[in-house]
Amino acid sequence: MPNTPDPAPAWLRVATLAVAAAATVVVVWACATAWGAVVHGHPAYAVLLALTLVGAVGVGVRALRRRPSRPGWRRAGRVALLVLGAVGVVLVAWLRPFGAVEPALAAMRSDDTVTVTEGATRYALAPADGGDGTAVFFQPGARVDARAYAAVLRPLAEAGHTVVVAKQPLGIAFLATGAFDDARAALDADRWVVGGHSLGGTVAAMAADAADDDAEAPAAGLLLFASYPADDMSGTLTAAVASVSGSEDGLATPAKIDASRADLPADAVFTVVEGAGHAFFGDYGPQPGDGTPTISHDDARAQISAAAVAFVDGLTPAR
């Protein structure tokens, strides 16, 4: 009588089911708590959630079947895949975006002065009268819903400057390094100001440095919100620079902003919003690791917007 293969070890089946259940919970949690950001964000995260759910269901069904044991390298491979799956679940949870809240959501509506258009990889706030030839391209901070910057950037559109905000794959600016070139190809502008918040500002600095000598539509300015460049650009960047930061920022701390002076041109303008934290540069709720603000979000937003408008206005020839 042939030997009947033993079923897979109970611990392996239980662990597999646990990872599958955790993956399902993470997908449901991400959709329940950040549905707007998932729907209005770059499609990459929505696709990742869908694949995670399909994979969790498939793995769970297979684990419930009493499959024969395969000792040796096959079992080791299964354990390795299980560990990778657990790491993947943690990554999917970490990538959940910080969803936009009011007044950013209200700022995403068109009116008589600003027209809002939204696509899969970016949205734009355009002056209803066509604008003045200066456009602003903005990179959000890591894992932040791109819509969260609509309220702080809308005054730029109201001042006559078209604003384009990138929707980054998985909310990571380094995965959207080509977004500025795509926006320049799609939008006719005489000059650009490239800006960004936090990690988005770091990527924006790279784009500005690469495009500041463009013959047709140069990057005339770099606008940093609670951010700084990754490398020394003091001798290569010819675009004007404005750095706006918060005195209570726990992530892009005042010490880090001060240290960035050496990496930027000597004529860079630094504005510190007293009492503002890192998350006050957008509208997406509190952020882990941030400092404790000592002014209202509305007050900070108004000061940040005013600094941005003054900077971009200064780069725009009078009409």
pLDDT band at 69 (very low <50, low <70, confident <90, very high): low
Query: pLDDT digit string (tens) for 132-172?
Result: 999 999 999 999 999 999 999 999 999 999 999 999 999 99
Q: Is the pLDDT assigned to residue 319 strictly greater than 80?
A: no
Contacts within 8 Å (CB) and 24+ apart, 91-96:
92/23, 92/26, 92/27, 92/30, 92/48, 92/49, 92/52, 93/26, 93/29, 93/30, 94/143, 95/45, 95/48, 95/143, 95/170, 95/171, 96/29, 96/30, 96/33, 96/34, 96/143
Q: Is the pLDDT assigned to residue 1 strictly greater than 70?
A: no
Query: pLDDT digit string (tens) for 10-56?
Result: 888 899 999 999 999 999 999 999 999 999 999 999 999 999 999 99
Query: pLDDT digit string (tens) for 228-275?
Result: 999 999 999 999 999 999 999 999 999 999 999 999 999 999 999 999
pLDDT band at 79 (very low <50, low <70, confident <90, very high): confident
Contact criterion met (CB below 8 Å) for 237 and 212: yes
pTM: 0.94
Query: pLDDT digit string (tens) for 177-234?
Result: 999 999 999 999 999 999 999 999 999 999 999 999 999 899 999 999 999 999 999 9
Q: Which pair of tokens denotes residue 144? A: 């932040």
